[in-house]
Amino acid sequence: MADIEITSTGVSETDIYLNTVLQGQINPLNQIDVNLEDSLGNLVTPISSNLTGNTLDIVTYPAPSGVALDFPKPYNYASYVTGDTGWRLQNGWFNYVPPTNPAKYAELDYSIGANFFYKLKTALTVNGVTSTTRFVNVTGVQDWPNTTAQGVIIDKLTGCMITRNVYSDANQANTIAAALSYSITISSVTYDDWYLIGFNEATKILGTYPKVGAAGGGGAAWIDPITGAYIQYYMPSSTSGWTADRSLYNTVEAQDFIINTLGLKYNATGNSFGNHPYRWYIRNCTNLIS
């Protein structure tokens, strides 16, 4: 809020103060114009203003703070089973509200070329570690072991956390249910509010999952091409997994994905209840990013 106070010292001399700091003198017989501008010289429209006596109170937007994340949107709006994407939508999981006046925006850095998917335009912070690296763990860096050890991945673009290497044979409904009971403890912190990843979330976070490095066992790894870190160490050479969505064109069909030597591709299958051995779980971790 800015306070402008006018104090008359004579017919031709009137002091004008901004937040108690003298700005100069004006002629009280002439019209007084007050212009609010941003750092680029653009006029700023205040939220409100009020003139009381000789004091003009002007309320502007709060100081920039927080991060506006690119939080994912739901794919299904209808719900077919507890815990699916439509269920989360109806229960407020997607009600992310960005800061009114963000200090930072989570955006991909397209200027770097082919590897834009892995780098942010603005450095963001996790656990006190600030960098433009998109995918990190809960410590803010990329120190996952090069094994199938359990862990999680934080996506600083979307504000979502996903599991790392969770395997099981289960149909879609059972996979959605299994996510609801999943729990993992890392550095004495327990994360137990998981859901099966949705189709839009998978495409935004995983993309086409390029396999750019072999990891043994006939599989391949998900490697950050900028840092060389193993985001996910081992993947079977050909497998499939469920998302928590049904096809928009035929709700009997489930949206799944297939991983093979070409990377990750998405598919709708007529068998919504067959076994798919691979899965990613997802949770909201917007509170961990600043």
Q: Are residues 198 and 107 in the same domain?
A: yes
Q: Are 80 and 50 part of one and the same domain?
A: no
Which residues contact residue 228 at a Cβ distance below 8 angstroms, ignoring those fewer than 6 apart? none
pLDDT, tens digit (0-9, with 9 covering 90-100), for 182-223: 999 888 899 999 999 999 999 999 887 655 445 544 556 778
Look at the pTM and tell me if it is higher than 0.85.
no
Do residue 39 and residue 111 come from a single domain?
no
Q: Please state the domain count of the chain.
A: 2
Report the SS3 class of residue 66: coil
Whether 102 has a pLDDT exceeding 80, the answer reads: yes
Boundary (domain end) residue, out of 59, 82, 104: 59
Structure confidence by residue, pLDDT tens digits, 3-40: 655 565 555 678 888 788 887 887 777 777 788 787 77
Note whether 113 and 256 are same-domain residues. Answer: yes
| pLDDT over 80 (residue 72) | yes
Same domain for 185 and 216? yes
pLDDT of residue 59: 81
The answer to whether residues 42 and 107 belong to one domain is: no
**Per DSSP, which regions of 90-128 are E strands?**
104-105, 119-126
Q: Which residues pair with 283 in a beta bridge?
A: 161
The two tokens of residue 214 are 């072999």
* Rounded distance between C-alpha atoms, residue 185 and residue 111, angstroms: 37
Provide the domain limits for residue 55. Answer: 2-59
Q: Identify each DSSP E strand in 116-269 by its residue range.
A: 119-126, 129-133, 135-136, 151-155, 160-164, 166-170, 184-186, 189-191, 195-196, 213-216, 219-223, 230-235, 239-246, 254-260, 263-269
Quickly count: other Cβ atoms within 10 Å of residue 12's Cβ. 10
Residues 31 and 87 in one domain: no
pLDDT of residue 80: 94
**Do residue 7 and residue 43 come from a single domain?**
yes
User: Which one, of 93, 159, 152, lies nearest residue 120 by Cα?
Assistant: 159
